[in-house]
Structure 1
């Protein structure tokens, strides 16, 4: 089954707020999380945990 643009669990990119250009790729449930996702994850460039924000 092919993923459509209105898929319930779309693939999203999380980009580092530290400006290093590091990204994580994950899925989110569009029904439960309608806002942009923000996760605190590890940035290997600066070797710290920083906020990663959803990029559209």
Structure 2
């Protein structure tokens, strides 16, 4: 893990997704930037991720 202290607790958790679900993981560098609010960045990331799962 980048930027995490070796002394930091890193608990694990099991997560079960529905068959048609997707887990999208992004970093702050993807959703934040100059002139871009966190809310807008998250919305944009969600829109882009949703397009990847559209089936025609």
TM-score of the alignment, normalized to the shorter chain, above 0.5: no
Relative contact order, higher structure (CA 8 A, sep 6+): 1
Q: Higher strand proportion, which one?
A: 1
Q: Report the structure number with the largest CA radius of gyration.
A: 2
Return the TM-score normalized by structure 1: 0.28
TM-score (norm 2): 0.28
Judging by fraction of residues, say which structure has more helix: 2
